A and B are shown apart, each in its own frame.
Chain A
Amino acid sequence: MSLLNSSIRDLHTKITSKEIKPSELVSASLERIAATDEKVKAFLLVTGEEALERAKQLDDVPADAGLLYGIPGALKDNLNVKGQPTTCASKILTGYVSAYDATAVSKLNETGAISVGKTNMDEFAMGSSGENSAFFPTRNPWDPDRVPGGSSSGSAATVAAGQVLFSLGSDTGGSIRQPAAYCGVVGLKPTYGLVSRFGLIAYASSLDQIGPFTQTVEDNAIVLQAIAGHDRYDSTSANVDIPNYLNALTGDIKGLRIGLPQEYFGEGLDAGVREQINKAIRVLESLGATVGEVSLPHSEYAVATYYLIAPAEASSNLARFDGVRYGLRVEGESLIDMYKNTRAEGFGEEVKRRIMLGTYALSSGYYDDYYLRAQKVRTLIRQDFDNAFEQYDVILSPTAPTTAFKFGGKTEDPITMYLNDIYTIPVNLAGIPAISVPCGFADGLPVGLQFIGKAFDESTLLRVAHAFEQANGVFARASL
């Protein structure tokens, strides 16, 4: 535990000075997983032998080893790793073995980072609690009776439990930031197009983005540096210059203009969470930032807009799971029966609900009223942010309206569950970046603070998050 309870930079120093070997670090990670994952259930698959094998190959550390060299991490199980099963925590991918590496995975591999396994998630990244995994729920390391958030439930929990130094998740409507908030870790959703989506099993293509979970902001910047950049295999990946994110971590936010969207502090925000956020605002002010109110008037339509666009794209993206070429097949008397049986048995309830929602929204005669109108509102939401960024450098809000809730607490009514993402969803719709940083506790549970930035301005997000973290103190890992 002590070894893993360090920053990536400290471990890097130890690795390059030969104080520890990558294989020792990976062993420590595997031991920690063995000791704690019975409780946390963060992993769907631990690839211990492969990880150790790879670590031993890296034990002879070159002089120019990068910061992630020999560092153990974990991958959300919707990222393809060649030769390993990828399940999306769904029965429908039973038996599927990936034929290729996701671009983000190969980029991590190039740095010498070592994946120790695949993490649990809500099935096909649809959910806000991790309870939609077809296999088992992941538990919040801070309180085993509570959810870790979702959909990147395992990726958030494994970092919080100190099992790995970093993990990758995906964020379509808050799936990195909300579990990061619930588990008390740092989670970043980059600008749409900053990180290649090639090899990420699509939920909603125009919203999905891969991003890192870490214990600290600096660690997060290190992982982002490794995975960001244009990819010719993803036409939607942006061809922009990638800055050195570590250079942004100056600790200086004097004069930084922070906007508080009034719509994000209204009804439904838990009092305990509000208190911690207000405290955080005072810390930022004390560091020299200026804080003012701003309005994002179309945010109130964001959840409705999201639940038309995301399911519409999902209904098409998930159509390929048909039992014909790979994964689960449940035979039937005819081809149509085989499709029906396979999909009825292979998909969980929430996935089916969203496929039906999306199919309806795209149907002839409804397209204009639903999908097309949602796209128009999406434009308005984006314009809200553009307007706000004329006055402010970043926007601050709670990451989620509450802290982690109890298992089964919101499963009855999907709408209550959907409202969990009320502060995160607008960011995906606008395609801009946001980061969740732990800022305190409410009733013993971590509270997440969200900073929202301009497109491709991750540097400013990391700068303000880092300055806050330095002032407020680095968040501890959960004791298990």
Chain B
Amino acid sequence: MTTTTSKYETIIGLEVHVEMNTNSKIFCGCSTEFGAPPNSNVCPICLGHPGVLPVLNREALNLAMKAALALNCSITRDSKFDRKNYFYPDSPDAYQISQFDKPIGANGFIEIEVNGETKRIRINRVHLEEDAGKSSHATDGSATLVDLNRAGVPLIEIVSEADIRTPEEAKAYLEKLKAIMQYCEISDCKMEEGSLRCDANISLRPWGQEQFGTKRELKNMNSFSNVQKALEYEQSEQERLLESGEEIVQATMRWNDDTKKTVVMRSKEDAHDYRYFPEPDLVQLDIDEVWINDIRATIPELPAERKNRYISEFGLPSYDADVLTASKRVADFFEEAVASGAEAKQVSNWIMGDFLAYLNQHNLEIPEAKVKPAQLAAMIKMITDGKISSKIAKDVFKDMLESGNDPDKIVEEKGLVQISDEGEIAKVVEEVIVANPKSVEDFRAGKEKAIGALVGQVMKATKGKANPGLVNKLILERLQ
């Protein structure tokens, strides 16, 4: 990281939009389903027909409150809605119903871990608003096409304080935020489907200076890694400008994923005047303590608590606990496997290793995986019972991932049961020793490593099925 050697301190703040997974839109009864044919999930209300009025979806409000509480925010009892006015074809009313001065949640925080240290990133506000539609351009360039399926899907915007100091911290913040949203079942947070979007503000200032430097806003990053990359690029770019004595001009920058650079999208002069004013078609909210407590009660154990529990209850290393709890689905999978009788650290090893690697490689989510937690547990039990070797287990697990079959069935069908019969193994050991005089000589000459070659030959001859411990023991006995 350049920051440690740089003359400048980097200041980052993030604005994250999260689409909430309610069944219906925030102000009408239309479905929020993703991927429906264009303009099929629409009605006069979300099409902005003349005379329609919004009615707040209670479920959207509850989820927003849940998100705010999970992010340690206080709830604004007299929260209200405001109109943000701007013309754009994907905004049917030509205003967005949002929240201006009374966001549903305020003054929260998220704790992140970077380089083994815990850091608190404060959250300025969480507010509820409606999403806009989507514009795309006809392939022949003749027209702009507007799909209003997304118009009116409930969003929360989560605005951090400028507490983030490195691009790496920014990524850690996003990962933690995503985990919390998923744990609370507020959103699936798929950046590629647009259910989580992130804009970043970044500025530099000389170390020790209190006043912030001029910031730039970065847009159009479509993954957490790209957020980090864009911030890294912008960080070095701003440093270069400052070093060369040039002035940084406040602007909105667009990340170009092809060139891996940021380019000016619009300058401050082009900034909108949104003419916010209270939405007269909706009434001010009146949220009481009982309501807040009811929502608070629906918040599950969050990643940080769960991580601590994995360390204390299962004795997992901090690193394992961190990886497993980063996703609720992974953590749930882990706990189910452990509940099925497998040893925690072994389950952790298999999940963090072969399992997640396979899912990543095939771009699968946990629910799509063919292996179920009980099957993983059963396989681990076969290892501890000595029925299969760890090595064989790797092949068995691969088969399980592809076929979804039970491990005992695979082992039986493929004849992979571990050979633990001493007589049978001794026979093979004898053959190997006779066939490899050089290795035997090396071993006797004090090259202890030579035994590895002999074990390898035995395993090869038994197609990996020999119990490695027994093989080792028998070779040693035979040679001493």
Partner of B53, one of A206, A233, A359, A364: A233
Chain B residues near A200 (CB-CB < 8 A): 51
Q: Does A199 sit at the interface, judged by CB under 8 A?
A: yes
- Top 5 A-B pairs, shortest CB-CB distance: A319-B94, A205-B280, A362-B275, A206-B280, A201-B50
Q: Which of B239-296 contact A (CB under 8 A)?
A: 273, 275-277, 280-283
Q: Does A202 sit at the interface, judged by CB under 8 A?
A: yes
Q: Does A313 sit at the interface, judged by CB under 8 A?
A: yes
Beta-carbon contact of A324 and B44 below 8 Å: no
A196 CB to closest chain B CB (Å) equals 8
Partner of A236, one of B44, B89, B277, B283: B283
Q: Does B476 sit at the interface, judged by CB under 8 A?
A: no
Chain A residues near B85 (CB-CB < 8 A): 315-316, 319, 362
Q: Does B474 sit at the interface, judged by CB under 8 A?
A: no
* 5 A-B pairs in the complex with CB atoms less than 8 angstroms apart: A204-B280, A235-B55, A316-B275, A320-B94, A359-B275
Complex Cα spacing A313 to B55, Å: 18
Q: Does A278 sit at the interface, judged by CB under 8 A?
A: no
Contact with B along A314-332 (1 / 0, CB 8 A): 0110011110111000000
Q: Does A363 sit at the interface, judged by CB under 8 A?
A: yes
A316 and B92 contact, Cβ closer than 8 Å, known pairs A232-B55, A235-B55, A362-B277: no
Complex Cα spacing A313 to B87, Å: 16
B24 CB to closest chain A CB (Å) equals 14
Q: Does B61 sit at the interface, judged by CB under 8 A?
A: no
Query: Main secondary structure on chain B at its contact with chain A?
Result: loop
A367 and B277 contact, Cβ closer than 8 Å, known pairs A100-B44, A319-B85: yes
Beta-carbon contact of A316 and B283 below 8 Å: no
B144 CB to closest chain A CB (Å) equals 7
Beta-carbon contact of B56 and A312 below 8 Å: no
Beta-carbon contact of B277 and A371 below 8 Å: yes
A346 CB to closest chain B CB (Å) equals 13
Chain B residues near A320 (CB-CB < 8 A): 48, 50, 92-94
Q: Does B333 sit at the interface, judged by CB under 8 A?
A: no
Chain B residues near A199 (CB-CB < 8 A): 51-52
Q: Which of A353-379 contact B (CB under 8 A)?
A: 359, 362-364, 367, 371
B275: nearest chain-A partner, CB-CB:
A362
Q: Does A129 sit at the interface, judged by CB under 8 A?
A: no
B277: nearest chain-A partner, CB-CB:
A362
Beta-carbon contact of B53 and A235 below 8 Å: yes
Partner of B283, one of A98, A204, A235, A364: A235
Chain A residues near B83 (CB-CB < 8 A): 316
Of B44, B51, B144, which is in contact with the most chain A CB atoms at under 10 Å from its CB?
Answer: B51
Chain B residues near A462 (CB-CB < 8 A): none
Chain A residues near B276 (CB-CB < 8 A): 362, 367
Beta-carbon contact of A99 and B49 below 8 Å: yes
Beta-carbon contact of B52 and A322 below 8 Å: no
B358 CB to closest chain A CB (Å) equals 47
A80 and B50 contact, Cβ closer than 8 Å, known pairs A233-B55, A319-B87, A324-B146: yes
Complex Cα spacing A86 to B281, Å: 21
Chain B residues near A93 (CB-CB < 8 A): 50
Beta-carbon contact of A313 and B273 below 8 Å: no
Q: Does A96 sit at the interface, judged by CB under 8 A?
A: yes
B360 CB to closest chain A CB (Å) equals 42
Chain B residues with CB under 8 Å of chain A are 44, 47-56, 83, 85, 87, 89, 92-95, 144, 146, 273, 275-277, 280-283
Complex Cα spacing A86 to B277, Å: 28
Beta-carbon contact of A324 and B282 below 8 Å: no
Beta-carbon contact of A198 and B280 below 8 Å: no
Query: Main secondary structure on chain A at its contact with chain B?
Result: loop
B272: nearest chain-A partner, CB-CB:
A364
Contact with B along A70-90 (1 / 0, CB 8 A): 000000001110000010100
B89 CB to closest chain A CB (Å) equals 5
Q: Does A463 sit at the interface, judged by CB under 8 A?
A: no
Chain B residues near A102 (CB-CB < 8 A): 51
Complex Cα spacing A238 to B147, Å: 35
A372: nearest chain-B partner, CB-CB:
B277
Complex Cα spacing A477 to B93, Å: 42
Of B53, B55, B83, B281, which is in contact with the most chain A CB atoms at under 10 Å from its CB?
Answer: B53
Beyond A232-B55, A316-B94, 15 additional pairs, beta carbon < 8 A: A79-B51, A86-B50, A99-B49, A100-B44, A100-B49, A197-B53, A201-B51, A235-B56, A236-B282, A316-B83, A316-B275, A320-B50, A322-B94, A325-B48, A362-B85
Chain A residues near B146 (CB-CB < 8 A): 324
Chain A residues near B48 (CB-CB < 8 A): 320, 325
A364 and B275 contact, Cβ closer than 8 Å, known pairs A232-B55, A235-B281, A320-B94: yes
Complex Cα spacing A45 to B115, Å: 73
B90: nearest chain-A partner, CB-CB:
A324
Beta-carbon contact of B87 and A322 below 8 Å: yes
Complex Cα spacing A262 to B87, Å: 46
Chain B residues near A475 (CB-CB < 8 A): none
Complex Cα spacing A326 to B44, Å: 12
B54: nearest chain-A partner, CB-CB:
A235
Q: Does A418 sit at the interface, judged by CB under 8 A?
A: no
A325 and B53 contact, Cβ closer than 8 Å, known pairs A316-B83, A316-B95, A359-B275: no
Q: Does A335 sit at the interface, judged by CB under 8 A?
A: yes
Q: Does A234 sit at the interface, judged by CB under 8 A?
A: yes
Contact with B along A13-48 (1 / 0, CB 8 A): 000000000000000000000000000000000000
A415 CB to closest chain B CB (Å) equals 24
Q: Which of A201-259 contact B (CB under 8 A)?
A: 201-202, 204-206, 232-236
Complex Cα spacing A290 to B431, Å: 125
Beta-carbon contact of B50 and A313 below 8 Å: no
Beta-carbon contact of A319 and B51 below 8 Å: no
Complex Cα spacing A94 to B53, Å: 22
Complex Cα spacing A81 to B55, Å: 21
Chain B residues near A335 (CB-CB < 8 A): 89, 144
Complex Cα spacing A102 to B275, Å: 29
Q: Does A339 sit at the interface, judged by CB under 8 A?
A: yes
Chain A residues near B273 (CB-CB < 8 A): 363-364
A227 CB to closest chain B CB (Å) equals 15
Complex Cα spacing A371 to B277, Å: 9
Of A79, A93, A102, A335, which is in contact with the most chain B CB atoms at under 10 Å from its CB?
Answer: A335
Chain B residues near A315 (CB-CB < 8 A): 85, 275
Complex Cα spacing A204 to B280, Å: 9
Chain B residues near A319 (CB-CB < 8 A): 85, 87, 93-95
A392 CB to closest chain B CB (Å) equals 29
Contact with B along A173-212 (1 / 0, CB 8 A): 0000000000000000000000001111110111000000
A362: nearest chain-B partner, CB-CB:
B275
B143 CB to closest chain A CB (Å) equals 11
B64 CB to closest chain A CB (Å) equals 17
Complex Cα spacing A99 to B56, Å: 21
Complex Cα spacing A333 to B56, Å: 38
Partner of A325, one of B47, B51, B56, B281: B47
Beta-carbon contact of B51 and A316 below 8 Å: no
Chain B residues near A326 (CB-CB < 8 A): 49
B282: nearest chain-A partner, CB-CB:
A235
Q: Which of A84-131 contact B (CB under 8 A)?
A: 86, 88, 93, 96, 98-100, 102
A198 and B52 contact, Cβ closer than 8 Å, known pairs A324-B146, A362-B277, A367-B277: yes
Beta-carbon contact of A236 and B51 below 8 Å: no
Chain A residues near B93 (CB-CB < 8 A): 319-320
A320 CB to closest chain B CB (Å) equals 5
Beta-carbon contact of B277 and A198 below 8 Å: no
Chain B residues near A88 (CB-CB < 8 A): 50
A360: nearest chain-B partner, CB-CB:
B275
Chain A residues near B277 (CB-CB < 8 A): 312-313, 316, 362, 367, 371
Complex Cα spacing A232 to B280, Å: 16
Beta-carbon contact of A198 and B283 below 8 Å: no
B246 CB to closest chain A CB (Å) equals 29
Chain B residues near A198 (CB-CB < 8 A): 51-53
Complex Cα spacing A312 to B51, Å: 17
Chain A residues near B281 (CB-CB < 8 A): 202, 205, 234-236
